[in-house]
Amino acid sequence: MIHPNKDRFDYGEQLNAPDGFELDSAVATTYSLDLDALLAVSVALGFKDTLEGDLTGEKLLLLESIESLKGKLKVFYQKGKIKLPTEYNYLFTLLEPYVSPVVPVGGEFSSFHPKLWLLRYVQISKSKRPEIRYKLIVLTRNLTFDRSWDLAASLDGVLVDDIQVDDKNSNWIDFILSLLKDDNHFKPTKRFKKELPYIKWKIAYGRDDSIKLLPGGGIYNRPLFLKRADSLMIISPFIKDAGNQVNALKWLSSQVADGGAKILLSRAEELNAIGKEKLNEWKCYSINPEVVEGEEKIEEGYELHNLHAKLLVTQRGAITDWHLGSANVTSAALGDVNSSQPRNTEFMLRFSASPEKIGYEKLMEQLVGEEEGRGVFVEHIFEDIIESDDVDNSAKLRSTIFELINASWLLKGAIQEENAKYTLTLDIHSKTLFQKLQDESIYVEVDQLAIAGAKQELSTQMQWNDMELTQISAFLPVSIRLRDMDIDDTVNILIQADIEIEGGDIRNQGILRKMLDSKDKILSYIHMLLNPEADKNEWLESHTREVSSNNGEIDIFDRNTPLFEQLMLTAARHKDALVRLEGLIQSLEKSDIEIPEEFNALWKHFRVGVKLND
C-alpha cells in the first residue's frame, strides 16, 4: 500500500509504455516545474527507460528523446513557477512548445495546483485497429527533483463500448479539455474528446466502480466526494490559513461522528506554528526528524526529506475511502464550513475498499509502527516557537508576482544586419502592474537565461543587443524585492514569454549546429538511430565516448563497420527508425549542416519512399 520500505513508486517506470505499446500522447499538470526534470522525464517517455544516470546537460540522448515527443506532449504549470536553472542548457529551447503556463483563475491568493499525468498508448501492430490503452497517474508531487516524501496512485484504463461518465463524474474530462481548448496545434485533443468518456479505469486497491476523479476550484467546487465518517485520518504538510487559522481542518472535523478517531500527520513546524490548543481534538504525528534530516548524516550537499504527501482517509462502517492528490488541508484547497468554493485549482482521486485493505489502522501500522521513534511518523511533541519581529511582506510580494504573471509578455527578436546577431525587445502590457510597483516601492529586474550580467530594471519595453540565436529563450528570469529590503530577500521567478523571431523561429536549427558541430558527432547520432533497440545507457555511453576522445571526435563508422548492412537491417526490421532518420537528415539539410559523404552516398538509395509522419 504505502509501506515506505516496500511500496516505492518509480516515476520513470510508471511513465513507460506497456510491453507491445508505444506512447501516442501525454498531458501533465504541475504547480511548479523544473526544466531539468522535464528533460529527464522525456527519456522515460521517449525511450521507455528509468531515470537513473546523469540526465542533464546537452546530450544526444536528451535531444533525441525531446524530438521523439514532438506533437505528443503538453505540460501545464502555474506561470512563474519554473525553477531557475543553475546552468543554461540549449535544449531548454526545445521544451518551450511542450510547456504551457496557466494563470490561476482565483486571483493572487490562489494557485494552479493539480499534479497528474494522462497518457495514451497505442499497440505496436500492423492491425488497422490497434488496441488503445490509457494510464492516469495522480500525484502529490510536482514535476521537480524535490526529495520530499510524496504519494502517487496509478490507474490503468481501457476503452469500452459504453460511456463511463455521467453528470457526477465527468468533471475530470471537462478539466482536461479546458486546458487544451486554446491550443489548436496539439492534435491529440481530438482523440481525447472522442475517447475519454469511454475509459474504464482499474485500480489495484479497492473497487473499480468506486473510482472518482475530482478536479476542484473554479467551477468544480471541492475536490472531494465526502460522506459523514466514523473516523478520519489526514496526511497534509500544510494546514494553516491566513491568521494562523485552521478553517478547512475545522470543517473536516465537523464531518466526523462524535467520538470518532481524528488523526493528523503533518510537518513538525506546521503543527508547532498552529499550536496544541487549536489541535486538541486531534491525535497529532509529525514526520520523523530522522527521515527529514537523514541524508545530512551520509553525504554532503544534502537535501531535507520533509513531508509533501496529501491523503484523506475516512472510515464509515465496512467502507474506507481514500482521497489522494494535490490538495492540502487548507481553505484555499478545500474550502471550509462557510464556503465550498476553494480558491485553488486542485485534482484528487477517490476510491474505496474495506478497512482490512486500506483502513487507517493498517496505515498507522505501516507509517508509525510499533517501535517508538522508528516509523516514518512519530507522535508529535509540541514545542513553542519564537515569533519573528520581521514584517511579513509575503502578501505584498505574492500580489506583485500575480500582477507580473497576469501581464502580457512578448519577446521579439530582430536580426542585426551588421553581424547576423539579434536584438531582443521585450514588451510588457498591463493596466495595473507598473502603477502598483511605483505605489508599493517594489523593484523588479528582468534577466536573460543564457547570458550573465544582462539584468535590467523592468519597464514597458526593454532591449538586449548582440544575442546569439541559441541564446534566445522564452524563459526570462525575474527578480522581485521591496526597495528597502536586502538583496538576500529577493524573490526569483522565471516567466515564460510569448516569442516572435524575425524570419521565423529557427532556433532549433541553431541548436543542431551547436550540438552536431563535427562529422563524427553527426555519424554518432546516425549510428544510434540505426540501432532503435539501443537503450538509455548505450546513448549515454555514446556521449561519453564523444567527450572523452583525444581530439574531441570519434569515428563511429570506421572501415570495419558494415554501414550498408546496418541500413539494410534497419530497413527490414525497423522501418519506423528510417522515418526518424529521414527527419534528422531533413533537419540537418535545413540547418545547412554538411552530411558526411560516406553516409549520404548510401542513404540516397534508402530514403526513396520514406515519408515523415504527420
Residue 331 and residue 457 in one domain? no
Residue 494 lies in a domain: yes
Q: What's the pLDDT at 61?
A: 87
Asked if 98 and 75 touch (Cβ cutoff 8 Å), the reply is: yes
**Of 449, 410, 443, 456, nearest in space to 429 by CA:** 410
At 347, which amino acid appears? F
Residues near 47 by Cβ (< 8 Å), separated by ≥ 6? 61, 65, 68, 535, 536, 539
Among residues 327, 347, 379, which one ends one of the domains?
379
Interval 447-456: pLDDT, tens: 999 998 899 9
Residue 445 and residue 576 in one domain? no
Interval 130-141: pLDDT, tens: 999 999 999 999
Q: Which three cell numbers stand for residue 331?
A: 481553505
Among residues 482, 507, 532, which one ends one of the domains?
507
Q: Is 450 helix (H, G, I), strand (E, B) or coil?
A: coil
Residue 563 lies in a domain: yes
Q: What's the pLDDT at 520?
A: 86
Residue 568 and residue 498 in one domain? no
For a pLDDT cut of 70, what percent of the chain falls above it? 91
Residue 84 and residue 189 in one domain? yes
Instruction: Tell me how many domains the chain contains.
Output: 4
Residue 289 and residue 411 in one domain? no
Residue 4 lies in a domain: no
Distance CA 295, CA 288 (A): 13
pLDDT for residue 553 is more than 70: no
Cα separation values, 387 from 278, 384, 398, 488, 489, Å: 17, 9, 21, 21, 19
User: Which H helix or E strand runs over 105?
Assistant: none
Interval 452-501: pLDDT, tens: 889 999 999 999 999 999 999 999 999 999 887 776 788 999 999 999 99
Distance CA 125, CA 131 (A): 8
Residue 43 and residue 151 in one domain? yes
Q: What's the pLDDT at 296?
A: 57
Distance CA 43, CA 67 (A): 11
Domain that holds residue 598: 516-606
Distance CA 91, CA 38 (A): 11
Distance CA 383, CA 386 (A): 10
Distance CA 489, CA 444 (A): 13
**Of 290, 29, 47, nearest in space to 143 by CA:** 29
pLDDT for residue 36 is more than 90: yes
Pairing between β-strand 116-123 and β-strand 132-139 as defined by DSSP bridges = antiparallel
Confidence band of 543 (pLDDT split at 50, 70, 90): low
Residue 461 and residue 584 in one domain? no
CATH of the domain at 348: 3.30.870
Residue 575 lies in a domain: yes
Among residues 483, 507, 531, which one ends one of the domains?
507
Confidence band of 563 (pLDDT split at 50, 70, 90): confident
Give me the mean pLDDT over the 588-607 stretch.
Answer: 89
pLDDT for residue 523 is more than 90: no
**Of 105, 30, 33, 80, nearest in space to 404 by CA:** 80
Neighbour-count burial for 496-516, b at 16+ CB within 10 Å, e otherwise:
bbebebeeebebbbbbbeebb
Give me the mean pLDDT over the 78-84 stretch.
Answer: 97
- More confident position, 76 or 602: 76
Q: What's the pLDDT at 272?
A: 96
Distance CA 35, CA 4 (A): 28
389, with CB counted inside 10 A (0-12, 13-18, 19+), is: exposed
Residue 373 and residue 408 in one domain? no
